[in-house]
């Protein structure tokens, strides 16, 4: 199976300026994803989708380069990630005569994802009949302890247990969060349905929550930096 890894990295980040290439423990953030993808035994091709020449040059120095530049209209805050991936697929078919069997989206904001996560996810996908796979980790904030509409009289718990319990270790149900670290989808299914995840047609790769961190704010960056320096996260 030919698996294409697309690393989407637009240049217009606002929360953390130049987020995709911000320094994290001595490396540009995106380097962690590029290195993991390149070391994979199951990825056939690593491909950068970016509109930003600085990001393109950084990744080129890491050994990943093509002539592709994502159009500006597909790199805005409101642009569709689906359309961006479809555009990249069309470009690859036209310019490199390359058509993958499956597409893996590896966001550069997940720096603690390791190569084993990538390869194990692909193996799980290959051995299953479902057309989609996404990575998840167990939620730290348990829904039994979360509420919605706290400013209203009819506030509710996010989820209710079947029986009343007072200790977290007695909870029977487990809840998981889609962490965005790995998306994997059959190419023809994606072209037809234009989705990365579909109910009843998606398998889940479970990661430790430490490796599922998504860099969105500076506090996330500091947390990831600590984990890398202290070798805190499971690898």
pLDDT of 14-47, one tens digit each?
Answer: 789 999 999 999 999 999 999 999 999 999 999 9
CB atoms within 10 A of CB 160: 11
pLDDT surpasses 70 at 168: no
Average confidence (pLDDT) over 163-174: 66
Confidence of residue 233 (pLDDT cuts 50, 70, 90): low
Q: What is the CATH number of domain 3-139+177-230?
A: 3.90.550.10
Confidence of residue 167 (pLDDT cuts 50, 70, 90): low
CA–CA gap between residue 64 and residue 101 (Å, rounded): 20
Confidence of residue 170 (pLDDT cuts 50, 70, 90): low
- Tell me the per-residue pLDDT of 63-110, one tens digit each, with 9 for 90 and over: 999 999 999 999 988 889 999 999 999 999 999 999 999 999 999 999
pLDDT score at 13: 80
| DSSP conformational letter for 20 | G
| DSSP conformational letter for 101 | S
- Given a contact cutoff of 8 angstroms between Cβ atoms, the answer to whether 124 and 138 are in contact is no
Residue ranges covered by each domain of the chain:
3-139+177-230, 141-174
């Amino acid at each position: 199976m030919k698996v294409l890894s697309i690393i989407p990295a637009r240049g217009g980040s606002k929360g953390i300026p130049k987020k995709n290439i911000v320094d994290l423990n001595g490396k540009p953030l995106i380097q962690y994803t590029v290195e993991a993808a390149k070391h994979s035994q199951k990825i056939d091709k690593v491909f950068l989708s970016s509109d930003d020449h600085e990001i393109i040059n950084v990744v080129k120095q890491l050994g990943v380069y093509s002539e592709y530049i994502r159009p500006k209209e597909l790199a805005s805050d409101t642009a569709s990630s689906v359309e961006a991936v479809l555009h990249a697929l069309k470009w690859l078919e036209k310019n490199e005569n390359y058509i993958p069997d499956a597409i893996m989206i590896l966001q550069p904001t997940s720096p603690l994802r390791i190569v084993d996560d990538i390869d194990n996810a692909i193996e799980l996908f290959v051995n299953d009949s479902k057309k989609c796979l996404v990575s998840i980790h167990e939620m730290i904030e348990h829904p039994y302890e979360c509420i919605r509409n706290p400013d209203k009289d009819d506030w509710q718990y996010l989820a209710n247990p079947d029986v009343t319990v007072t200790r977290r270790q007695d909870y029977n149900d487990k809840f998981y969060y889609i962490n965005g670290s790995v998306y994997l989808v059959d190419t023809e299914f994606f072209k037809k349905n234009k989705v990365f995840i579909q109910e009843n047609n998606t398998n889940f790769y479970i990661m430790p929550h430490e490796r599922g961190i998504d860099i969105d704010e500076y506090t996330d960056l500091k947390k990831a930096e600590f984990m890398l320096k202290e070798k805190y996260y499971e690898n």
